[in-house]
Structure 1
Amino acid sequence: MPKNKGKGGKNRKRGKNEAERRQSASWCSRRNGQEYAQVTRMLGNGRCEAICVDGTRRLCHIRGKMHKKVWIAAGDIVLVGLRDYQDDKADVILKYMNDEARLLKAYGELPETLRLNEGVDVDGPEGEVEDSDYIQFEDEDIDKI
């Protein structure tokens, strides 16, 4: 029988939680040749489509260090590195957590029109209620209870 080398199984191949490590380090801000962007949709194969703060829609490639370790979804705020030779493509450098994205918006780095995933709206697009269990009470009804 072969001797156990002690390197572990499939769980060893998974990356450690980088969110815990990044809390102690200062989070990155935008530098020259970089831009903030919001992911509009995931395309698969390590690629996504994002709208940058400057208004350009770009095809972004998730770099190998983040691939299968940092999960990016539609609506997330990311830092992308722009390419000198291709204007319509960029590379995802960093994903911002929800609280970091709110801080960026508060500091004025992100535009006020950018909508963050802060919660689910109760009202639909025309103001109609989406949830069937939602009941709106009048002041008179509350007094009767």
Structure 2
Amino acid sequence: MHMMHTLICSQQKRVQKNVQYSGVDYLTNPGRKNDKGPEEEIVRVRLPNKRNREMFASADLMLGANHIRVRCFDGETRVGRIKGKIKKRVWIREGDVLIVVPWDFQADKCDIIYRYTRPQVDWLRGHGYL
């Protein structure tokens, strides 16, 4: 009887712990795929530095081999190369808002240096940057 009571208490503690995480009980619905976890809070949004020739761009088409066709906010369409630092950490998809740096020696190419998350894009639109 004591062992059964201990087992029930330990399960209740796990349930209480899981309920505290974003209000979802993962023990009753472990296969839930649509839960994104806690909402991301915006602490700081990185803006393009004009002195470094950085600008906003939108991912247009995935070309493969770490290259993406991007539509820059200066009206040009360029082929963007995902830098290694970004490639290992962040997945870039079509429609994402990015920061790019055009190349000095080839105007139709650029480096992708940052990708905005959805809450960051909403913040940028709300403050008139996009």
Taking structure 2 as the reference length, the TM-score comes to 0.63
1:31 pairs, out of 49, 53, 56, with: 49
Q: How does 1:1-145 map to 2 (within 5 A)?
A: 26-32=44-50, 33-110=53-130
Aligned-residue sequence identity (percent) comes to 31
Q: Distance in 2 between matches of 1:95 and 1:50?
A: 12
Is there any run of 5+ residues in structure 1 with no aligned partner, and where? Answer: 1-21, 111-145
Root mean square deviation, CA, Å: 1.8
What's the CA shift for 1:31?
0.7
More helix by share: 2
C-alpha deviation, 1:84, in angstroms: 1.6
1:72-124: per-residue Cα shift (whole Å, max 9, x none)?
000000000122222111100000001111111222211xxxxxxxxxxxxxx
For structure 2, list consecutive stretches of 5 or more residues without a partner in the other structure: 1-39
CA spacing shift, 1:95–1:84, aligned 2, 3 Å: same
CA deviation string 1:30-86 (max 9, x = no partner): 112011000011111111001011111010000001114210000000000122222
For 1:77 and 1:105, how far apart are their aligned partners in 2?
11
Task: Give the Å deviation of 1:24.
Answer: 7.8
SS at match of 2:105: coil
**Per-residue deviation at 1:25?**
6.1
| C-alpha separation in 1, matches of 2:56 and 2:75 | 10
TM-score, reference length from structure 1: 0.57
